[in-house]
Chain A
Amino acid sequence: MSYFPDEVIEHVFDYVTTHKDRNALSLVCRWWYRIERLSRQRVFIGNCYAISPERTLARFPALRSLTLKGKPHFADFNLVPQDWGGFVFPWIENFARSRVALEELRLKRMIVSDESLELLSRSFPNFKSLVLVSCEGFTTDGLAAIAANCRQLRELDLQENEIDDHRGQWLSCFPDNCTSLVSLNFACLKGEINLATLERLVARSPNLKVLRLNRAVPLDTLQKILMKAPQLVDLGTGSYLTDPHSETYSKLKIALLKCQSIRSLSGFLDVLPRCLPAFYPVCSNLTSLNLSYAPGIHGSELIKLIRHCVKLQRLWILDCIGDNGLAVVASFCKELQELRVFPSDLNDIGHAAVTEEGLVAISAGCPKLHSLLYFCQQMTNAALITVAKNCPNFIRFRLCILDPKKLDPVTAKPLDEGFGAIVQACKSLRRLSLSGGLTDQVFLYIGMYAEQLEMLSVAFAGESDKGMLYVLNGCKKLRKLEIMDSAFGDVALLTDVGKYETMRSLWMSSCEVTLGACKMVARKMPSLNVEIINEHDQTEFCPDDDEQKVEKMYLYRTMVGPRNDAPEFVWTL
Chain B
Amino acid sequence: MSSSPSTSSSTRVLTLRASTGERFTIEAAAAAAARFSSLENGKKHDDEDDEEELRKWDAGFIRDLAPVVIHKLITASDYLGGRDELVYLLAGKVADMIKGKTSEQIMFRIANDFTPEEEEIRR
Contact = CB atoms under 8 A, between A and B. Distances in A.
The answer to whether A binds B is yes
Interface of A: 1, 3-5, 7-8, 11-16, 18, 21, 24-29
Interface string B70-96: 010011001000000001100110111
Contacts of B96: 15
Contacts of B74: 4, 8
Contact of B75 (A4, A12, A16): A4
Contacts of B75: 4-5, 8
23 contacts: A3-B110, A3-B111, A3-B114, A4-B71, A4-B74, A4-B94, A8-B74, A8-B75, A8-B87, A11-B88, A13-B95, A15-B99, A16-B99, A21-B98, A21-B99, A21-B100, A24-B101, A24-B103, A25-B103, A27-B103, A28-B103, A28-B106, A28-B110
B115 interface: yes
Contacts of A5: 75, 78
B106 A24 contact: yes
Contacts of B88: 11
A11 B96 CA distance: 12
A8 B91 contact: yes
A16 B95 contact: yes
Contact of A12 (B94, B100, B102): B94
Contacts of A7: 78
A132 B82 CA distance: 43
Given A4-B71, A4-B74, A14 B100 contact: no
A26 B107 CA distance: 11
B95 A8 contact: no
A28 B101 CA distance: 11
Contacts of A3: 71, 110-111, 114-115
Nearest to B92: A15
A3 B70 CA distance: 12
Contacts of B101: 21, 24
Contact of B95 (A12, A26, A27): A12
A28 B107 contact: yes
A-B complex: 10 closest residue pairs judged by Cβ atoms:
A15-B95, A27-B103, A11-B91, A12-B91, A24-B103, A12-B94, A12-B95, A5-B78, A28-B103, A15-B92
Contact of B91 (A15, A25, A27): A15
Contacts of A12: 91, 94-95, 98
Contacts of A24: 98, 101-103, 106
Contacts, number: 56
Nearest to B79: A5
Interface residues of B, number: 23
Contact of A29 (B94, B102, B107): B107
Contacts of A15: 91-92, 95-96, 99
A8 B78 contact: yes
A15 B92 CA distance: 6
A14 B91 contact: yes
B16 to A, nearest CB: 16
Nearest to B101: A24
A247 to B, nearest CB: 51
A21 B105 CA distance: 12
Interface in B54-73: 71
A376 to B, nearest CB: 34
Contacts of A14: 91, 95
Contacts of B114: 3
A14 B91 CA distance: 9
Contacts of B102: 24
A8 B73 CA distance: 11
Given A16-B99, A24-B101, A24-B102, 9 more contacts: A3-B111, A4-B71, A4-B75, A5-B75, A8-B74, A11-B88, A16-B98, A28-B103, A28-B107
B98 A25 contact: yes
Interface string B22-48: 000000000000000000000000000
A440 B102 CA distance: 32
Chain B CB count within 10 A is highest, among A8, A26, A27, A29, for A8
Nearest to B103: A27
Chain A CB count within 10 A is highest, among B88, B102, B103, for B103
A3 to B, nearest CB: 6
Nearest to B70: A4
A26 B102 CA distance: 10
A16 to B, nearest CB: 5
Contacts of B103: 24-28
A28 B111 CA distance: 11
Contacts of B115: 3
Nearest to A21: B99
Contacts of B87: 8, 11
A450 to B, nearest CB: 18
A5 B107 CA distance: 16
A25 B106 contact: yes
Contacts of B78: 5, 7-8
Nearest to B96: A15
A15 B93 CA distance: 9
Interface string B105-123: 0110011001100000000
Chain B CB count within 10 A is highest, among A1, A12, A13, for A12
Contacts of A29: 107
A1 B109 CA distance: 13
B114 to A, nearest CB: 6
A18 B95 CA distance: 12
Contacts of B107: 28-29
A454 to B, nearest CB: 14
Chain A CB count within 10 A is highest, among B71, B95, B101, B114, for B95
Chain A CB count within 10 A is highest, among B99, B102, B111, for B99
